[in-house]
Chain A
């Protein structure tokens, strides 16, 4: 019985108990439903073992949407707690757990998979390929992310949630001051998910370099694909830093080492340093695909090609390198001298320049365009002013001497939310709306979509602008309450109201999905937006093999050429198509990783060793495997294409 004590929650509350019950009931309902409708075989064959980038993309998307609600629930609770002074909704411990999980979930388990979802679904189609370079590895990437997310998400009901912030600084994150297993969950779940992300980085770089359609030189790629390439380059060089940092943190907590300890020579600042060497490139990993989406959407709905293609590419290349040169700006106030801080101040201000170039290019694209205000375009138009405001406050923060005033106040919180939400979240919703018809065969409702935009855009501003003021007035971040005499009350109440507007907006997204599934027409053709790039040259729904014949292009707007300038995309006869086989190994190996992670978190060494052996066994199996996929015959292709009423465009 003592063995089970370790799984108890150190700081229970009625809400946590209710969640335990809810989670239990949900799991039972899922298992019962699958059994009753006899869908286990379907689930295994079509989803758990798939290596198809389109399916993997959809699974990432579903995960991201679920995590959006987990992170959003955290946010509403925080805003409610802070809406009035000396509120008693959440005590300090629970507040700490909630802001920690809010940060980790939103960045690592919502934004990252959302980006992965769109990259996975769209990039191979945009370059005219049939899948990514390493489909099996792609599946492994997803399942490792999924298991990492699942592991992190059960922390608050088994063993205790991490509570040292999403940045988990030492010595707070060490054993002495964080006695529950919560921080172990942090170190290990993120590690597992991070491995998946690194694999995706490698996968997409090779895919984009080597699998483009004939005629598509690098400088003729769609801008979203360029942003994906640059993002994945950053991933490859940034994530290993996190791997090492998390491993050292794990060792400090589980094996008594003194990397970040306060005794025996340990250096707690080293954690902050290594975390941010990864952490700053990470925020560019989040924003660059968003920029790519804006380029696509603005160009599509301004009915003209993107202004300044070359400088768009150049600015992203510069950002990719500079993003590794600015990290110290996240801890200007933590002991460095003026020279160090000044150097990083300069690099920080320098990196604002390429982003500024991009904003001007979008404005110039809009300037001479024929603007059609669809839902994706609305988000792009809303992004530009709000992100610019958030961005210039970033330059303010980047001035190290001034940062002593702003650091770790609500001013900082306002800054990063006002770049991440209009930057990343708006782009994800815009991208989702834009590519939804290609993914699912029907459009999301335009009217509901517009209402959603206004709730989210206004909600964002109302929630976060007041934080600039309360931050300058002195309200610190990560504080669970404040006294009435500070005068912060009015600003926090406004923020709470904004959070409610945001919540309504996100609820409308769910409603839109439900409404559209029920009522939207399925007869929308292949190219409902009258768009410009190759992913719209596929059928609806997209067949397994994407393109029956590999397209050939001669400009950066292959489909537009085909529609308006008589270019032929698909030349030549049908040929046999080679496809990779499904495989259960990615799912199984990731499940074993889950067990391994869980065992490590709770110091169950024997289970950890056995599951580690299992992981290596999966790798050995892969080494000896000789499954080279299967072929789709020309007849089968002809049949499938005939169903769509002919392929050639």
Chain B
């Protein structure tokens, strides 16, 4: 396996470069996935049937908490990659675990949010609006959940196998995924919640 020592470790082999480019292309597909959800959301936003509208059920506090949690976790995964690049395994693992814990906290708040919505009469089956709202938020949340497990697996591999060409490649790709989820959240935050509460 030929190593290119002029590059950071996660780019240093041919397969590593392929993996990273492949993941970026996958993110292009994910842009379209969420674009479709947003297109459907804007189309169905006012179709509330007999159920509540966004303005009636959204709360600024949980939304702000979720946003700060996710934004900070995006910062900490950046610190993870940085620590990885300077070869500091302990710092890398610490920041990685903090990232996952912040993600877990985000999920906790979101699950509480969903519980609240169902209780005030905005369930999945209530109306077209609630269906697309919960599906869009839920798709993002499912991606975060998947990320938590995936991140955990990588943490355990870094712990056992150290900072290698494979583990750096996987960690970097995970960071791309995690940042992307934050980008999607920015749009959810702005055009679902804030727009709905204007």
A residues apposed to B, CB below 8 Å: 133-134, 198, 201-203, 205-206, 209-211, 236-241, 243-245, 247-248, 251, 255-259, 261, 263-267, 270, 273-274, 277, 578, 616, 620, 623-624, 626, 628
CA distance A241 to B47 in the complex (A): 21
Chain A residues whose CB sits within 8 angstroms of the CB of B47 once the complex forms: 265-267
Q: Which 6 A-B pairs have the closest CB atoms?
A: A265-B47, A264-B49, A265-B128, A240-B33, A265-B49, A244-B36
CA distance A209 to B25 in the complex (A): 12
Q: Say yes or no for B132: interface residue by CB 8 A criterion.
A: yes
Docked CA distance A265–B51 (Å) = 9
Q: How far is the CB of B36 from chain A (nearest CB, A)?
A: 4
A251 contacts B131, C-beta separation under 8 Å: yes
**Chain A neighbourhood of B21, CB < 8 A:** 206, 209-210
- For the complex formed, measure the closest distance between the CB of B46 and the CB atoms of chain A, giving whole angstroms: 8
* Nearest CB in chain B: distance from A253 CB, A: 13
- Taking a contact as CB atoms closer than 8 A, the residue among A203, A236, A241, A261 that contacts B36 in the complex is A241
A624 contact from B49, B149, B157, Cβ within 8 A: B157
Shortest Cβ gap from A493 to chain B (Å): 44
In the complex, 22 of the A-B residue pairs with CB atoms within 8 angstroms, ordered by the A residue number, are: A133-B22, A201-B25, A202-B25, A210-B21, A237-B29, A240-B33, A251-B135, A256-B124, A256-B125, A257-B124, A259-B131, A264-B49, A264-B126, A265-B49, A265-B127, A267-B47, A270-B40, A270-B43, A270-B44, A274-B39, A623-B154, A628-B1
Question: Which among A201, A237, A239, A265 has the highest number of chain B CB atoms within 10 Å?
Answer: A265
Chain B: CB-nearest residue to A623:
B153
Chain A contacts for B50, CB-based, 8 A? 264
- A243 contact set on B, CB distance < 8 A: 33
Whole-angstrom distance between the Cβ of B31 and the nearest chain A Cβ: 8
CB distance from B25 to the nearest CB of A (A): 5
B172: interface (CB < 8 Å): no
A409 to B: closest C-beta gap in Å: 29
Which residue in chain B gives the minimum CB-CB distance to A619? B150
* A residues near B75, Cβ cutoff 8 Å: none
Closest chain-B Cβ to A254's Cβ sits at a distance in Å of: 11
Chain B hits for A259, CB < 8 A? 40, 44, 128, 131-132
Q: Are B127 and A258 touching (Cβ within 8 A)?
A: yes
Residues of chain B from 47 to 69 with CB closer than 8 A to chain A in the complex: 47-51
B18 interface contact, C-beta 8 A? yes
CB-nearest residue of chain B relative to A277? B36
Assess whether B25 is in contact with A623, with CB atoms less than 8 Å apart.
no
Check A624 against B153 for contact (C-beta < 8 Å).
Answer: yes
Is A620's CB under 8 angstroms from B153's CB?
yes
Smallest CB-CB separation from A203: which chain B residue?
Answer: B22
List residues of chain B with CB within 8 A of the CB of A239. 29
B17, A210: Cβ atoms closer than 8 Å? yes
In the assembled complex, which residues on chain B have CB atoms less than 8 Å from the CB atom of A273?
43
Interchain CA distance A628-B43 in the complex, whole Å: 47
A557 smallest CB distance to B (angstroms):
27
- Measured in the bound complex, the distance between the Cα atoms of B166 and A259 in whole Å is 43
